[in-house]
Structure 1
């Protein structure tokens, strides 16, 4: 029989404070640091030990996320090298020619963003896809705000919530849910992701169609190719890059690579392409100096994204048994684990109530405007709930991941759509106004679906 003590109530109070601070659009790194210190002090009764616990928590979290940080760094370095070479322009130019009208431009722009975001993540993808394709989309009759919506929904929504190739999001969720293979999250998320994405995109397209009917006399012009004076080397790299990644996908399927092995293949491919692009662009002698710069830029980008997640994860790792024992010692079960068992012993929980509670918490975490920051708690809670109710933890974690990232990853939180808004020269609130109804419809549909299939 589990009995809750003061430290459990303090842990819950800190979580509530963190969620509340997120709702007020503030960063939660400092509250997480304070929370770890307080929990460490209550647990150990020593200031010195609590300082050591704070450090161990961050180290434990860093080790869990290290692989993800590295793969994002390498992919970003590759993206920068391709951009400097001009290979990205060559890869996109044929797609730009297909934009004959506003509706077609919306989907072409969106699916191009989806594919590129899967392989290089939305943040770098929006920069060069937006700058190269948005002008063409606007000329074809697509208003700036709907171009921004396309980039946003397909990139920050569809691509980031699935993250099938880089597997940053599934890896974070799996780590904190103590699921060894992130591919379990990927497989579990697929039907939920299809429902969420389909409902959101279709409803958005319907609303866009009504808007386009109201717009008259949009000036259209022929979509021209961008002349970037690219040479034979640039064209070879532009053709070779997608072929390399297609080969990776085939190899993954044939040899059944998954989890860390699949990530290693993508990461190794990215760094090879980065080196080849550097040599083609600068010749071998100058590439010796350029490759380290790309690596540094990629590492800086990755750490900017994940440094807060590491600290936030450090706090939530105290909630689950394995990581809590690594941080505090073997005499703890993990605070959220204890709380979950306590609740199951005193409150009758059903599969439906767990899905609704988990979805509600996921939505609140997303309000903070950083979908990844909420994933450590999502994974931990999925493990806790599934241990007390007959429900697959991977499916529950996948549901939370989808909801959290769709809300917080950059679709309906104004301060998280700023990069897309800047690229398309529209106000962030205008994007949110167009996104909010489709995204909420998608979330409702995915929760209903989860009730039936989980």
Structure 2
């Protein structure tokens, strides 16, 4: 076993500090940057070296996350154009005829939200699905809180935690754990779906019970004063046909050519930006050169708004791996034979602590959930991935499954299903109070987290 150095203990101390700050529901950027600075000070032994390490760590983290930032920015840029020309409503409109009862409305809206969120991400998908299908759901008797629950649990819960297409969430988790992104997605699938199925079924049962008991009354659609936007530009029909076909072809290409991880992300991102360009040229003609700049700018502003705070956090947690820490502090930063701070700590824990699968699964889930308390599920996934490496190494468990478990805790809590300040989009589009939606989601989500953790104890 590699002897633990001062560098190891500084890293562990700052991880504890970050956890404490998260429990206090404060942002963790300052302790993460301070952690990198102190590690630089330990290795370089000069203020100059430590200061440089802070910036270098941001560069390393930025390069690791750049692909995901760009693909999400491209997707959002395209979705802004589709929204402006009315193509988004055309794509969802055919499904309205299937919604006949409140039960069908709940599940149908949820499944549409799940699929759309996989391709466009939950935030843009919430506005699209909510605006088009909320009036239909209200007319068949599903309360607005039920629509909000369906959109929220399927989108910001199940879709964001799985993230099979864009792969933003698993990429961050896998990078911090030092494993391939496809390992988290494939080996963690059973946990993703256990969480989603248990939570959503529980939410539906409780909603039906309260509707039957009269605790939730049928909607008075007149009070919503819904005026449906009918502005659809001629090019919208072409776009509504082109976009689904293009992404279906992408999925086929992923299977045929065995594209995974960065290659799959590149295909999705390239498709989005090409569609944006083609539709812009058709719609705006000579003005397309200027208009496309607006959409790209809007997309990248969204991407940086989401990932800007994540880069400094990831910069610290990536330092637990061999390659990032050597890129920042040099090859001499780690002692001879070290497999990285996280692996070294895992081996040390295994030799002195009576850890087992139930304890490890519980700790991974609890830490993931704690990191989500800031309302941003993404900010905690680096820590979840890092701890999965530590715990998996300590007891010889599956690191990808542990990473997936931590990802579930971080996303379902912080991605926007329980924390009120994280579920504002769904609450706003359905015109319900965020606190009311959080209260409705609390029991189903906590039930799902508990059962998923129990399942994980047997399969990790």
TM-score class normalised by the smaller sequence? over 0.9
Q: Residues 130 and 430 of structure 2 are in contact (CA less than 8 Å); yes or no, is this contact kept in structure 1?
A: yes
Q: CA deviation at 1:196?
A: 0.6
Q: Residues 89 and 228 of structure 1 are in contact (CA less than 8 Å); yes or no, is this contact kept in structure 2?
A: no
Alignment of 1:165-176 (within 5 A): 165-176=165-176
Q: Residues 346 and 392 of structure 2 are in contact (CA less than 8 Å); yes or no, is this contact kept in structure 1?
A: no
Question: Quick one: distance in 1 between partners of 2:78 and 2:204?
Answer: 33
Alignment of 1:270-289 (within 5 A): 270-282=272-284, 284-289=285-290
Query: 1:445 corresponds to which residue?
Result: 451
Matched residue of 1:410: which SS? helix
Question: Quick one: distance in 2 between partners of 1:277 and 1:74?
Answer: 14
Query: 1:342 corresponds to which residue?
Result: 348
Alignment of 1:30-49 (within 5 A): 30-49=30-49
Question: Quick one: distance in 1 between partners of 2:199 and 2:454?
Answer: 14
Q: CA deviation at 1:294?
A: 1.0
Matched residue of 2:374: which SS? coil
Superposed CA offset, 1:352-380 (max 9, x none): 32222222211221222211111111112
Q: CA deviation at 1:302?
A: 0.4
Q: Residues 85 and 233 of structure 2 are in contact (CA less than 8 Å); yes or no, is this contact kept in structure 1?
A: no
Superposed CA offset, 1:124-149 (max 9, x none): 11122222222322222121222111
Q: Residues 29 and 312 of structure 1 are in contact (CA less than 8 Å); yes or no, is this contact kept in structure 2?
A: yes
Of 334, 355, 371, the match for 2:361: 355
Q: Which stretch of structure 1 is more off in the superposition, 291-300 or 212-221?
A: 212-221
Question: Quick one: distance in 2 between partners of 1:453 and 1:8?
Answer: 30
Of 396, 403, 410, the match for 1:404: 410
Q: CA deviation at 1:218?
A: 4.6
Question: Quick one: distance in 2 between partners of 1:172 and 1:218?
Answer: 41
Q: Which stretch of structure 1 is more off in the superposition, 242-251 or 321-330?
A: 321-330
User: How high is the TM-score relative to the length of structure 1?
Assistant: 0.94
Superposed CA offset, 1:272-309 (max 9, x none): 11112212322x21111111211111111101111111
User: How high is the TM-score relative to the length of structure 2?
Assistant: 0.93
**RMSD (Å), alpha carbons:** 1.9
Of 424, 431, 440, the match for 1:434: 440
Q: Which stretch of structure 1 is more off in the superposition, 21-30 or 424-433?
A: 21-30
Query: 1:202 corresponds to which residue?
Result: 201
Task: Flag the 1:416–1:33 CA change in 2: closer, same or farther, 3 A.
Answer: same
Question: Quick one: distance in 1 between partners of 2:291 and 2:183?
Answer: 38
Alignment of 1:94-173 (within 5 A): 94-173=94-173
Matched residue of 1:409: which SS? helix
Query: 2:427 corresponds to which residue?
Result: 421
Question: Quick one: distance in 2 between partners of 1:53 and 1:131?
Answer: 47
Question: Quick one: distance in 1 between partners of 2:427 and 2:229?
Answer: 26
Q: Residues 73 and 298 of structure 1 are in contact (CA less than 8 Å); yes or no, is this contact kept in structure 2?
A: yes
Q: Which stretch of structure 1 is more off in the superposition, 203-212 or 270-279?
A: 270-279
Question: Quick one: distance in 1 between partners of 2:176 and 2:32?
Answer: 16
Q: CA deviation at 1:225?
A: 11
Question: Quick one: distance in 2 between partners of 1:18 and 1:177?
Answer: 18
- Give the length in aligned residue pairs: 450
Question: Quick one: distance in 2 between partners of 1:21 and 1:422?
Answer: 29
Q: Residues 336 and 381 of structure 1 are in contact (CA less than 8 Å); yes or no, is this contact kept in structure 2?
A: yes
